[in-house]
Amino acid sequence: MHVEALKEKISFKLNGKEIEVEADPSMRLIDFLREVLGLTGTKEGCGEGECGACTVIIDGSTANSCLVLTSQIKGKELYTIEGLQKGEELHPIQQAFIDAGAVQCGFCTPGMVLSAKVLLDKQPEPAEGDIKRAISGNLCRCTGYKKIETAIKMASDYMKKDGAE
């Protein structure tokens, strides 16, 4: 027996562009991004909201895309890691992660960078406690976090300079 997949048109803003896609609204957002849209920068670790590898930005706030249904993003503004880079140029946060040596296996990096982005958008000069809190939902098995915290501080400086130019 062939069961027709329940698809409907989902329109929302992705990485700055309005898009409309046919999809199963009960699909998890992470599957929608990776399998339907081919955006594989968003990673799946635990699938249960514990690791933050699947972090995306929805209407300016971070979310675990393994715990969001596609129906929930209709009309929303979504950012994934693919939306940060401008052409060839890395986003200052990405650059800071590389410069600080905060990327080892890289699995946690997209999520970390997006958590850092939301933090820096709200608080351009975060205190150490703010940084810790912002990434408390992002697990990293490689770096021990110190370098990630350094990277976020560096990113804050880079962005200040960018802004000043």
Partner 1 sequence: MNIKVYTPDVLDEAVNFLQQDGGHIIAGGTDLIIELRKEKLKPEFLVDLTFVNELRGILVSDETIEIGAMTTFEDLINSEYIKAELPSLWECAINMGACQIQNRATIGGNICNAAAAADSIPVFMALEAECIIAGADGIRKMSIDSFILGTGKNSLQKGELLKAVAFKRPQKSEINSFAKLGKRNALAISTIACAVRVKVDNRIITEAFVSTGSLGSKAGRELGVEVYLMGKSITDLNIDEAAEVLSAEVEERLKSRASIAYKKHAVKGVFKEAIEKCIKRANQ
Residue 87 phi, psi dihedral angles, 5° rounding: 60, -125
Compute CA distances 57 → 2, 54, 78, 86, 104, whole Å: 36, 10, 6, 17, 23
Q: Is the Cβ of residue 112 or residue 151 nearer to partner 1 in the bound state? A: 112
CA angle 125, 138, 144 (to 5 degrees): 85
Q: How far apart are CA 135 and CA 24, in angstroms?
A: 31
**Binding segment for ligand FES among 16-24, 42-50, 89-97, 118-126 (CB under 6 A)?**
42-50
Q: Does 51 bind ligand FES (CB under 6 A)?
A: yes
Q: Which stretch binds ligand FES (CB under 6 A): 8-16, 19-27, 90-98, 106-114?
A: 106-114
**Measured distance CA(135)–CA(148) in Å, rounded:** 9
Which part of the chain contacts ligand FES (CB under 6 A), choosing from 9-17, 33-41, 51-59, 124-132? 51-59
The closest of 2, 118, 107, 21 to 71, measured between CA atoms, is 21
Binding site for partner 1 (CB under 8 A): 3, 5-6, 24-28, 47-50, 52, 55, 58, 61-64, 66-69, 71-72, 74-75, 115, 118, 133-134, 136-138
What is the spatial distance between Cα 80 and Cα 42, in angstroms, rounded to a whole number? Answer: 7
Q: In the bound complex, what is the minimum distance in angstroms from residue 29's beta carbon to ligand FES?
A: 10
In the bound complex, what is the minimum distance in angstroms from residue 128's beta carbon to ligand FES? 19
For residue 54, state whether it binds ligand FES (rule: CB under 6 A). Answer: yes
Distance of CA 39 to the CA centre of its chain: 11
- Residue closer to ligand FES, measured from CB, 106 or 124: 106
The secondary structure element, H or E, covering residue 18 is strand 17-23
Choose among partner 1, ligand FES, none what residue 24 binds, the Cβ cut-off being 5 to 8 Å by kind. Answer: partner 1
- Which residue ranges make up the site for ligand FES (CB under 6 A)? 44-47, 49-54, 64, 66, 103-108, 140-143
